[in-house]
Structure 1
């Protein structure tokens, strides 16, 4: 971990981080041309990571390479610049860059430790508009005079900028220099599209300007997360893009999970059968539609309720949408919108005597007086169990027993759009879990194993409300707090 801290600090992805170094200087760098033998292995690895998950016919090929190498702890750190030739592609679900941009200039940071390569940074852009570095200026150098009140608050001209819908996938990483004027204008149009897409309005011009500055900083952060992701996920504009990191964590996440001071559950008996290659309870009728917790840190309730819905269906044959609001109001061990623990929620359901349906006890997104009626309870549970941290055993349990409540570190989820997320472990520590979700299935895409995760931020986030996370690596602590209700 000690080696990672200065590297991540340079990239600005830990609190108090300094700006990343500027673009590689010519001094001491290798000349352009075919990669010298010392750089060939790291360059090929960088190309492999760039092409990972891409369909045949869309993979880039390596051109010229230059770079340098220096010692880093027990290994070597390679700083490379390379040109990549990318064939035309029009499918935004497959291609990370638009069709017209074929020749790219990329900067890579690759750590070689004990013979194993790790991609630390990837920054690619068109050769004619390349801007490198990763620092985020607080003001971002915006020329506020470029944006009138009407253009910021009432973005009625967004239909004039259809090409900007996918622009976030190619936003440059910025140095400490002010944003160039044309980029400022481009970001203004992307922000206008954001306002229209998510029906966002602000009370004053000053607030709109502040939110625009937050939006631009967030896009820079999303691009850093994109460059470091080891999966196929695409990060960019989401409905949370105008919130500061602190606002997002305070409103939507659940730091109470880290304390793990809830009721201790007994260990579940393992499933004897091996896990099938893939499984999805959505196709088998055990999962209700994606719900929305709103501006309330109640993910813990949605995770547990989703699990109970699945358990009831598998044991009673009836899929019911159950009440999260009942837990917010009546679970006195947890903290409603301030957070909670699945283990406490199971205990509360059992002690209350069951759960009402969503129709009978509808969601409000804030704590009220408890209005639970035992006469209206439609579902009950007998117990709850803690599951194995072995992901192969989790998959086997899920395939036989049903969806699983888990807790994860939500790093990067503020900007997640689609694909399989696999953040670097130091960025997404399993010890810093802060969001509860529901695993409903698993499988593989382009030979990359994933967990299919039902989230509670509505269908206008992620892949129609779902998040796909790498399976088998303990990514973001997905295996550290797995549990289920027991329905006999």
Structure 2
């Protein structure tokens, strides 16, 4: 005898009503099981995990509180906590819907829950897209910036290879975190100097962003700045101290002159890369290159894959400065992409990186690229690029 008949015999109710009751009970049990499974997944796989089949429509307060603990988030009162929970829940549902709609498509782009998930898009952009809200040509350099890019008569840089990733050559330091300070301009500039120094002296050392903030002369470095201003300071000071000796505190302070005499990171100048992606590829084939991009809310939810949108196309609004460390092409769908190092920590994106679609000047990526100059081991560079197939 089936379970439905046993229930009917015990409570003496019509079989049709019993069947309906059993379905309701099964549905409740199934729902509870899925919620418990989600809670376990969120804890064991991290905040970026999103169930690919999109089987949950809501996220509970308890799950939000787990996220708060993971990201050390606190709120001044219960009313603010409820408001943030509402933002978080809405964002979770939209991310789940987006990823479900992406299934079966050629695009690899995925969204995910991360440390920004309790923020509105406006809040996110006001903090993390405020690095440069003006025309960089208005900055008056102490040294001048050439309008063309020269690669020291190196034939191998004139034709960019089909792919390159400077992380493989130990020219890139670990991903850092700027915190809630609009200092991305300093992080990108320092990362470029680190790459340049790795070529010049064979030393991969994390250098000081705080020294740039405190000592470069920017009125408020947490409200934005220019990469060239950072480069000017490095040239003027004769170099940078290490991050270990002049640590980052995510706010601008008074320049500590006792720490500015250590010159571990140096450059001799810089040049503007012509504003097109082919010349940008040539520059990146030479070394990691800092660029200013116009970002939109799409960056807030980026989890992985090839980013194809999420930009602000006003060239002087919502600017964020990052470092291009290479480029490549996916084997499955032959998508060309830039490999971009961000400064939002390793919990964001692909362990702190984003792959941006290459070939359409996405987010104005080629418009404001600056190449640091130094004395280089040209033969070493030729060896790396010699066996690479040129772009067709």
1:403 is aligned to 2:288? yes
Q: Deviations over 1:266-286 (max 9, x none)?
A: 132156431111101000010
Matched, 1:207 2:80: yes
Q: 2:145 aligns with which of 243, 249, 265?
A: 265
1:231–1:423 contact (8 Å) kept in structure 2: no
Distance in 1, Cα, partners of 2:208 & 2:106: 37
Q: In 2, distance between residues paired with 1:276 and 1:167?
A: 36
Deviation at 1:223, TM superposition (A): 6.5
Q: Which residue pairs with 1:370 in the alignment?
A: 255
Structure 2 CA distance for aligned equivalents of residues 258 and 223 of structure 1? 36
Alignment partner of 1:256: what SS?
coil
Question: Is residue 456 of structure 1 aligned with residue 343 of structure 2?
Answer: yes
Structure 1: runs of 5 or more not aligned = 1-156, 173-181
Q: Write out per-residue CA displacement over residues 399-451 of structure 1, whole angstroms, 9 at most, x where no aligned residue.
A: 2x2100001122211111111100177x5555535100000011011310111
Equivalent residues in 2 for 1:26-425, closer than 5 Å: 161-162=39-40, 166-167=49-50, 183-184=57-58, 186=59, 188=61, 191-219=64-92, 222=95, 231-260=107-136, 261-262=138-139, 263=141, 265-266=145-146, 267-269=148-150, 272=155, 273-333=158-218, 335-372=220-257, 373-399=259-285, 401-411=286-296, 412-423=298-309
1:430–1:475 contact (8 Å) kept in structure 2: no
Q: 1:159 to 1:223 in 2, by over 3 A?
A: closer
Q: Determine helix, strand or coil for the equivalent of 2:323.
A: strand
Q: Which residue of 2 aligns with 1:102?
A: none
CA RMSD of aligned residues (A): 2.8
TM-score (norm 1): 0.60
* Equivalent position SS for 1:269: coil
CA gap of 1:167–1:462, structure 2 versus 1, over 3 A, is closer
- Are 1:171 and 1:219, in contact at CA under 8 Å, matched by a contact in 2? no
Residue 358 of structure 2: aligned partner: 471
Spell out, residue by residue over 1:357-376, the C-alpha distance to the aligned partner (whole angstroms, 9 max, x if none): 11111111111110144432
Q: Distance in 2 between matches of 1:225 and 1:300?
A: 31
The answer to whether the 8 Å contact 2:125/2:318 transfers is no
Please tell me whether the aligned partners of residues 407 and 433 of structure 1 are also in contact (alpha carbons under 8 angstroms). Answer: no
Q: 1:442 to 1:458 in 2, by over 3 A?
A: same
Contact 2:289 2:369 in 1 (8 A): yes
Q: Check the 8 A contact 1:292/1:458 in 2, yes or no.
A: yes
SS in 2 for 1:306: helix
Give the Cα–Cα distance (whole angstroms) in 2 for the partners of residues 451 and 224 of structure 1.
27
Query: What is the rounded CA distance, in whole Å, between the counterparts of 1:224 and 1:161 in structure 2?
Result: 19
Q: 1:12 is matched with which residue?
A: none
**2:131·2:184 contact (CA, 8 Å) conserved in 1?**
no
**Partner secondary structure for residue 347 of structure 2:** coil
Q: 1:481 to 1:222 in 2, by over 3 A?
A: farther
Q: Which runs of 4+ in 1 moved over 6 A?
A: 157-160, 223-230
Q: Distance in 1 between matches of 2:52 and 2:124?
A: 22
Change (3 A) 1:295 1:473: same
Q: Which has the higher strand share?
A: 1
Q: Secondary structure at the match of 2:116?
A: coil
Q: Distance in 1 between matches of 2:300 and 2:318?
A: 15
Q: Which has the higher contact order (CA 8 A, sep 6+)?
A: 2
* Contact 1:167–1:190 (Cα < 8 Å) also in 2: no
Describe the superposition over 1:53-98 as per-residue Cα deviations: whole angstroms up to 9, x where unpaired. xxxxxxxxxxxxxxxxxxxxxxxxxxxxxxxxxxxxxxxxxxxxxx
TM-score (norm 2): 0.73
CA distance in 1, matches of 2:362, 2:98: 15
2:367 corresponds to which residue?
480
Deviations 1:269-315 (A, max 9, x none): 15643111110100001011111111111000000000001111112
- Asked whether the equivalents of residues 177 and 344 of structure 2 are also in contact (C-alpha less than 8 Å), the reply is yes
Segments of structure 2 that go 5 or more residues without pairing to the other structure are 1-34, 376-392
Where 2:132 maps in the other structure, the secondary structure is: helix
C-alpha contact (below 8 Å) 2:220/2:252 kept by paired residues: no
- Distance in structure 1 (CA, Å) of the matches to 2:247 and 2:213: 11
